[in-house]
Amino acid sequence: MISLKSVPPEPLTIDDLPDEILDHIFSFLKLPDRKSASLVCHRWNNKSFRWKNVVVVVQTSQLASEYSSLLASDRPYKHLEIPARWLGPEMAARFANSLESLVLFRLEAESVMNRNAHFSIFDVEDIHNAFPKIRELTLEYLTFLDHSHFDRFIRVSFPALESLYVKHCLIGSRSIEIMRFSNFSNLEHLKIETKFPLESTLLQDVEMFPKLRALDLTCLEFRVHHLGQHFHLNHITSLAIEAQFDEGYLLEIVNLFPALLSLRLKGSAQFSAESIETAKKRLPNCVFKFENHMNRVQEYRNEFSDFF
């Protein structure tokens, strides 16, 4: 009689594992490893990628092959980071029904060779609702012909946009400081980063965005002095500003944004205890966080005691 102990067990393969264990395994793998694992685990081939969590970033050293591969792929990518000059009718046709977020950037080589190059991207008249499902858009180091072109490009191409991040972009030959927005009815979060000042006209545009709740600005200076005491933005609940400002800036901001629940200010000035106490009384439900360039951070909640 052959002992049961002497019978070698059937080899256990990755295909024998239950779905919940495979889920756990794949959650630890980076994208290249997921590709390799999916080739071995045939049963899991179509499940190894959660497309909502996959961000496809183009390798700029192999642009031609990357572009062709991207268009030829039948995978329903939801998040792309690509050079702006790739954005054309072919890309729109390929990913119109799947993309949820998009990052457009200018290639470093293009920045060196064509510092004043304008990125028309493509004719907005021909791509109405080109990306109807995109909720998040990031524009990095791009130059637009004028305010009208910038505005129409976003409104026409991304009608469902909820979050916009504009990083070091130019409008024509000028900085972003006088950028104007209009008719972004679904926008909930606006983030702008620039080395130049931002003018208060931005807030006049923001007033027309009914769903906007969060505003995040990094700039040399954010000028709010000319808006007057009767101008208020009652729909903004979260505000972050990194800029140069003076002692009186805090109370100006508190007056402009009476519905804030979160306020973060980072700059060279330190606010007095009296100014902070006044701000707390005006915004009793707001969490305040102040940072200066000496890396000192102060945070104030309902109790005026949290320092770190």
What is residue 133's predicted lDDT score, i.e. its pLDDT?
Answer: 93
What is residue 115's predicted lDDT score, i.e. its pLDDT?
Answer: 40
**CATH architecture, domain defined by 54-174:** Alpha-Beta Horseshoe (3.80)
Distance of alpha carbon 113 from alpha carbon 107, whole angstroms: 10
Give me the phi and psi of 90, to 5 degrees please: -65, -45
How remote is the C-alpha of 159 from its chain's centroid? 16
Q: Which residues contact 199 (CB under 8 A, 6 or more apart)?
A: 177, 178, 223
Give this prediction's pTM: 0.76
Residue closest to 88 by CA, chosen among 124, 134, 118, 59? 124
What is residue 59's predicted lDDT score, i.e. its pLDDT?
Answer: 58
Domain locations along the chain: 13-49, 54-174, 196-203+214-308
Residue closest to 142 by CA, chosen among 186, 191, 194? 194
How many CA atoms within 13 Å lie on the side-chain side of 282?
A: 19
Residue closest to 241 by CA, chosen among 276, 216, 205? 216
Distance of alpha carbon 181 from alpha carbon 275, whole angstroms: 32
Distance of alpha carbon 28 from alpha carbon 7, whole angstroms: 35
Tell me which residues of the chain have a pLDDT lower than 50: 1-7, 109-125, 303-308
